[in-house]
Structure 1
Amino acid sequence: MTKPTVNQFVQMIKDKTEELYGMGTDEVTNNDLYYVVCEIVNEEINQDWAKTEKTYKQEQPKQVYYLSMEFLIGRLLESNLLNLGMREVCNDALKQLNLSPEDIYKEENDPGLGNGGLGRLAACFLDSIATLNYPGHGFGIRYQYGMFEQRFINGYQTELPDYWLKEAYPWERRKVDEAVELQFGGSVHMLERNNGSLEFRYEDTDKVLAVPYDVPIVGYNNEIVNTLRLWNAEPVTSIDPTTDEQSYFKQLKNNHEIEQISSMLYPDDSNDEGKRLRIKQQYFLVASSLRTILTNYKKETQQSLIHLPEKVVIQINDTHPSLAIPELMRILMDEEDFGWDAAWEITTNVFAYTNHTILYEALEKWPVKMIQNLLPRLYMIIDEINERFCQSIWFDHPELRDKIAEMAVIADDQIHMAHLSIVGSFSVNGVAKLHTDILKNQEMSNFYNLFPDRFNNKTNGITHRRWLLLSNPRLAEVISETIGEHWIERPRELNNLLRHTKDSALLDKLKEVKKKNKQDLAEYIHKTTGILVDENSIFDVQIKRLHEYKRQLLNIFHVIYLYNQLKDNPNLDITPRTFIFGAKAAPSYYVAKEVIKLINTVASVVNNDATIQGKIKVVFLENYNTSLAEKIIPAADVSEQISTAGKEASGTGNMKMMMNGALTLGTLDGANIEIKDQVGDSNIFIFGLNAEEINEYYQNGSYNPNEIYQNDERVTQIMDQLRDGAFGHDVEFTDIYYHLLSTNDPYFVLKDFDSYVEAQQLVDLHYRDQDKWLSKSLINIAHSGKFSSDRTIREYATGIWNLQKQL
């Protein structure tokens, strides 16, 4: 397809503005112009989308369907322009019209379809699937409200509704003709047919309509457009206004409950009502998605479902979509007349499961009664899966008989969704080498002993198109000037930068790029927070979900330590440092919210103390999301990846900041290990206990944080400051003080403190030699191609999905 010239694009903008608004480009708002450009881009996309769908129908390739509760896709206008090869043309056309491209692009709301790494990974994967010419699509939920919009009031996190759909979303297409009717609750009656088979009839069920909204996933420079289908929950019938008052209000209540299903990402599940809603969401996602998958399969192949695994593979992203396993069994048996064994053979050759956590408390479990009440037929199938699985262990694997209670799908009146996912899938993968090893040797060792061929590793990746080419165009330009543009489609070619690590001219360019990116972020910080930061200071960045195991607390303890040092000696010779945080805490996670308050309180004290001469500043940016990450990451000097070893499955922020030239300060956890293996020990800062040492402490119970508190004067001072009200009033942070000591510091914050401080001192010393620092930065960029999601998706496609590229 011939792309428009700048002058042609200018005319297209003028014509479309007149068509939509009846005015000239100088008479409409930036928001109007955003929709104008989206209309133009959509016209380009729709041609490729139709052609891609036609090709899939004609060729009938095997396709992957990626089921996920989260797709953190970020803003799409600039990304779609980039992938279509039209970004520079659009930018120049807007400038020719005396418009700022950035002002137009930022009119787009971040879709509230995800929370963190899980959702961003899913988005990166869809980008790579399309770019690599693989036939694959995503299925998710069209949440009306995202996680929440975060605001700080007196330093405390306050949650506001994230109504990202308050304006029309230009990338979605409503497909009401492909809506699916689903059922919850009621009762199930088992009847015997004349031929001896069983029939299951449902009575008194609550019906819900799942309406699809399709979003295009545009491949890079290849005219491939795959689909992300998002489901919206709607009433099956409209309210009858002529009915009596009681019936009318009952209908209103029922419709409200239906709409709640797709209303909010991750409702609070600390109570039964929230748990029921989450189960409804999960079934809503998988049941509607399976209906689409099977309908398309039948329509396009005209084959029996016995051949389904030859054409369909379904990847379960974490356990949230694992109800798809019993739901497919239900469809095959109850609607397609397959017997159990044949249905199980099909099912277990269709599903593959990605595990994303090794935190036992984070492994999903649902009360049996809840599943029985909401999904009675599915519970019968899950119960049968469990019974047959336990019997197979008893009769076929007597060496594991004493482990049956630990491995059962149903145990202690709970359904263990990770166990269901493993039992019902042909592949189980971790997302970093250490993570997979821990799954095989510790958390899921019994299942690994039973199904050794099922377990494999697929280290996560990120799309370098968004996280380098789009978010850091200055750096991308320098790279292309140095090694050519082939790295854009073959990211491993970033390795060619290794030849230039001593090239002083290139290092100067890298220095200038980083300086400008830091200036941009400093301006943003001042504009949004009022805080003036030194653009020549080290930008030390920790951006990720607020959780105890991610140890933002360790980070702020180090800040307090530095502050204490500077109070004792204002002339202390340290490199100025700006500590930048971005994180949301779950609304009901008390400790995490207290850590947010602590960081904000320390920031207020440190930033306003003239005696320390501005040598350290602390900035906690509100409402961390994809668009904010795109501002922060290009400016980062230090990438804080400091989770307790053995707790972080992989991490992807570590890859994004590495790709943009930041040096990793981290533990031997998740993908940090593989980053270290790539860049070498001298180009990363590693500290702290490793996973084996952590596990040994857990096993023998020999760790005593009170000893550190009593014997390390730095820790004593920090902890006493929390207890005695040095930050905030007297009781402000006593909960953190007592929490660390009374729970035996489960994430080893105090234990790793000394090693962390030493590593931070090394960061300070190394940063002073800018030539060496920039060389280390370039080495990190050069090795980051390994962590492109293109590599990850190739491994999925060949090692799990058995897909062929559509050329």
Structure 2
Amino acid sequence: MFSSKEEFKKQFLQRLEMMCGKSFAESSKDDQFDTLGHMIREHVSKNWISTNERYRSKNGKQVYYLSIEFLLGRLLRSNLMNLGIDKLVDEGLRELGINLNEIEEIESDAGLGNGGLGRLAACFLDSLASSGLPGHGFGIRYKHGLFEQKIVEGYQVELPELWLRHGQVWEVRKADLSVEVPFWGKIKSFEENGRLQFLHEDAERITAVPYDVPVIGYYNDTVNTLRLWNAEPSPFPIHRNVMKYKRNTEMVSEFLYPDDTNDEGKILRLKQQYFLVSASICSIVRSYMKSHRNLKQFHHHVCIHINDTHPVLAIPELMRILMDEGGLGWEDAWEVTTASISYTNHTTLSEALEKWPVRIFQPLLPRIYMIVHEINERFCKQLWEKYPGDWQRIEQMAIIAHDQVKMAHLALVGSFSVNGVAALHTEILKNREMNDFYQIFPEKFNNKTNGITHRRWLLKSNQDLASLITEGIGSEWIRQPLKLQELLRYRDDSAFLERLKTIKQQNKLKLAKRIREQTGIQIDPLSIFDVQVKRLHAYKRQLLNVLHIIHLYNCLKDEPNVHIYPRTFIFGAKASPGYYYAKKIIKLINTVAEKVNKDPEVNKKLKVIFLENYRVSLAEEIFPAADVSEQISTASKEASGTGNMKFMMNGAITIGTLDGANVEIKELVGDDNIFIFGLKADEVLNYQGYRSLEYYHFDKRIRKVLEGLISGFFPNIDDEFEAIYDSLLMENDQYFVLRDFDSYVSAQKKVTYTYTNQEQWLKMSLTNIAQSGHFSSDRTINEYATDIWGIDSK
């Protein structure tokens, strides 16, 4: 890209003046960021074009990954790193008086996702490109993302996430590749040349305009594509009220996850999902037809992967295109579709498996409903032949039943592969949640344990640790992360362990500085940093964590001289705007934090921090500084988790239940390098006769903590936490918080005791880092590529 540092500086200064129309001396940090971003994007254009030409000329198979979320974070530093010019650019800018770290802060986190689902998709794109694999992403270009979280008087307040207010330096708008997506209207059928044809009349048409973002592979000249669709009005709207039509159109790509507690919100969500798949499938088929003529061979060259149920309408949409536009009969179209589409399930929670009322689905997507209805009819006939007379089973498995379209059922029937995201999760799907389907389609089910890109979560975000690793075992681990296991030879090397400790301490000091700047609270950098950062949901049990903090507070108040090793509890989480209970837990955490942090009898031993607006760029500062990783979901409820892997890779020790990928972490690191507590998955799933009130009555610690929620512990707060109290006692504690309380307290005592033996703790930390290579998304993607998609890098 640049032959030397001097060449870079010369090009940078020339480009800045040309772009901004001002001298370098007059330029702002925003100008400097935009200039650098455009230089990088233009530089990779050649490789971007040649990558696509290589895929076309090879005529091999390509995968298209459809996801409602892509939680990318910032791209500047990772793009520089993947191109191998980060050090050159850093030094060149420094000589110009520019701090690259400050420039990096200018970039907004892309508001394209919320939690683990979206971050997984981003990691997968990175691994596809870095492995030289032909794989691209399709998503929606949300104008506002989920929301920007502010904490006001302890409450979550949602503000618009204006991540695009300064534009997006990485994207390229390609209006010539726009696609029209129809909604509403009616379907007219007629016969022509002996075939039944369908015409979609009086439709409200929305234009999907693609914005392409380059996905740069690590040191390999591969640049794949993330295509994001923007909803814009059709150039020729047929509506009388054009302004209303324009407003309704733009709403489709306005917000991630609009509130669907009412019909208007449900319609908008379903519109988003069809908008994504219709534009994407049309684009994929159009690209295929440039090089091929026979749609019956489509599945030999294309695999379409749907990330959870949000893009499941890809199945009927591909059927529609193959039949209505490609002229295929039903059987041929079905054969091609079911050989083209693969599906990842991300949950065992039945409430998270999407269902849409027919009264909304049918009028909004009339042709798609016809196809889904036919798929259902044929599937139910197949079930009747297999289970004659078993109406209950057929009713349970039907795609359309009780005025509901069941998206997970459609995914299971219309795809050739169904994978869970951790070994335990996949077994639960096969043996319980989706057992009826497993009995019919056992060959479809497989496991692909999640992974994270070690390039972002170690090489980029924890550069000192990455340098120590490279010094110890060489640099091959960057391309072959399983080689991190070679670190195990340093388990008894006191000098290496001491350097590991120093790096952790430096990262803790950096985070302490961030916390002081953001909250005004001074924390003890020598305390145990106990961290729980993830989406806020009842099953993830942030509540168990905060009840334990109240218990520790009570212990210190009852016995001021009791020995409690200083500990800083750090939370970060967003609750969905309509999730009342989760927002109450955020209020509880912040109320406890205020009480603990202001109590001079306690605050030298305990501090509680809630970092607002948790996001990727903040996570990159948190994971390297963490000592303890809280992975305490009710066993059987967390499909996998990926935060657990990021903590592990950065040397934090897990305290967790045997849930999701925690099971596999434990298998890799061994019982002595993890803190496991609580009910196991099979115990939760088969628990009979649980009565939470018994734990309240027979454990005085629990009683004291819960009584504090409703009387006296928090002054001037009336009835604030009654809903939490009632959920635990009146509603019988759905997620076994009280059942696991004693086990959790005991495990936390063990954490404290172990941490005081620093040599042992450092050995545990090193072991976790050494075994974390298994959880690289490179490994996961290689398994998808080989076992499901049938793609390769040759």
CA displacement at 1:398 relative to structure 2: 4.3
Q: Secondary structure at the match of 1:252?
A: helix
Q: Where does residue 363 of structure 2 map in the other structure?
A: 373
Spell out, residue by residue over 1:75-101, the C-alpha distance to the aligned partner (whole angstroms, 9 max, x if none).
001110010001111111122122211
Q: Does 1:143 align with 2:131?
A: no
CA displacement at 1:333 relative to structure 2: 1.2
Spell out, residue by residue over 1:702-741, the C-alpha distance to the aligned partner (whole angstroms, 9 max, x if none).
0000000111111000100001141251312122111211
Amino acid at match of 2:225: T
CA displacement at 1:793 relative to structure 2: 0.3
Q: Secondary structure at the match of 2:529?
A: strand
Q: Secondary structure at the match of 1:745?
A: coil
- The runs of 4+ residues in structure 1 deviating greater than 3 Å are 22-26, 396-402
Aligned mate of 1:261, from 252, 262, 269? 252
Q: Does 1:283 align with 2:274?
A: yes
Aligned mate of 2:506, from 510, 516, 520? 516
Q: Is contact 1:178-1:211 (8 Å) kept?
A: yes
Aligned mate of 1:665, from 634, 642, 655? 655
Q: Is contact 1:368-1:415 (8 Å) kept?
A: yes
- Extract unaligned runs of 5+ from structure 1: 241-246
Q: Is contact 1:66-1:317 (8 Å) kept?
A: yes
CA displacement at 1:27 relative to structure 2: 2.5
Q: Secondary structure at the match of 2:739?
A: coil
Aligned mate of 1:765, from 753, 760, 767? 753
Amino acid at match of 1:734: E
Q: Does 1:343 align with 2:333?
A: yes
Q: Is contact 2:205-2:237 (8 Å) kept?
A: no
Q: Where does residue 271 of structure 1 map in the other structure?
A: 262
Q: Is contact 1:636-1:662 (8 Å) kept?
A: yes
Q: Where does residue 163 of structure 1 map in the other structure?
A: 162
Aligned mate of 1:737, from 713, 725, 736? 725
Distance 2:598 2:539 in 1: 30
Distance 1:152 1:121 in 2: 27
Spell out, residue by residue over 1:513-570, the C-alpha distance to the aligned partner (whole angstroms, 9 max, x if none).
0000000000000000001000000000000000000000000001101111111122
Distance 1:646 1:791 in 2: 24
Distance 1:466 1:433 in 2: 25
Q: Does 1:225 align with 2:212?
A: no
Distance 2:3 2:172 in 1: 25
Q: Secondary structure at the match of 1:191?
A: strand
Distance 2:465 2:218 in 1: 19
Q: Where does residue 794 of structure 1 map in the other structure?
A: 782
- Extract unaligned runs of 5+ from structure 2: none
CA displacement at 1:137 relative to structure 2: 0.3
Amino acid at match of 2:560: P
CA displacement at 1:43 relative to structure 2: 2.2
Q: Is contact 2:2-2:8 (8 Å) kept?
A: no
Count of residue correspondences: 793
Q: Where does residue 677 of structure 1 map in the other structure?
A: 667
Task: After TM superposition, list the pairs within 5 Å mapping 1:5-24 onto structure 2.
Answer: 5-24=4-23
Q: Does 1:782 align with 2:770?
A: yes
RMSD: 1.2
Aligned mate of 1:727, from 683, 689, 714? 714
Greater shift after overlay, 390-399 or 492-501? Answer: 390-399
Amino acid at match of 2:584: E
Distance 1:316 1:613 in 2: 48
Q: Is contact 1:143-1:264 (8 Å) kept?
A: yes
Spell out, residue by residue over 1:745-773, the C-alpha distance to the aligned partner (whole angstroms, 9 max, x if none).
00001110000000000000000011110
Amino acid at match of 2:713: A
Spell out, residue by residue over 1:152-194, the C-alpha distance to the aligned partner (whole angstroms, 9 max, x if none).
1110000000011111100000000000011101111221224
Q: Where does residue 630 of structure 1 map in the other structure?
A: 620
Q: Does 1:747 align with 2:735?
A: yes
Q: Secondary structure at the match of 1:649?
A: coil
Q: Is contact 1:393-1:401 (8 Å) kept?
A: no
Aligned mate of 2:437, from 417, 434, 447? 447
Greater shift after overlay, 26-35 or 132-141? Answer: 26-35
Q: Secondary structure at the match of 2:110?
A: coil
Q: Is contact 2:596-2:603 (8 Å) kept?
A: no
Distance 2:363 2:162 in 1: 31
Q: Where does residue 99 of structure 1 map in the other structure?
A: 98
Q: TM-score, normalised by structure 2?
A: 0.99
Q: Is contact 1:184-1:207 (8 Å) kept?
A: yes
- C-alpha distance 24-502 of structure 1, shift in aligned 2 (>3 A): farther
CA displacement at 1:7 relative to structure 2: 2.5
Q: Where does residue 310 of structure 1 map in the other structure?
A: 300
Amino acid at match of 2:107: E
- C-alpha distance 604-238 of structure 1, shift in aligned 2 (>3 A): farther
Q: Is contact 1:239-1:252 (8 Å) kept?
A: no
Distance 2:617 2:389 in 1: 52
Aligned mate of 1:705, from 650, 669, 692? 692
Amino acid at match of 2:252: I
Q: Secondary structure at the match of 1:102?
A: helix
Q: Where does residue 243 of structure 1 map in the other structure?
A: none
CA displacement at 1:3 relative to structure 2: 4.5
Amino acid at match of 2:281: L
Distance 1:795 1:401 in 2: 38
Aligned mate of 1:603, from 593, 596, 610? 593
Amino acid at match of 2:704: Q
CA displacement at 1:396 relative to structure 2: 3.2
Distance 2:551 2:540 in 1: 19
Q: Where does residue 236 of structure 1 map in the other structure?
A: 234
Q: Secondary structure at the match of 1:137?
A: strand
Q: Does 1:319 align with 2:319?
A: no
Q: Where does residue 244 of structure 1 map in the other structure?
A: none
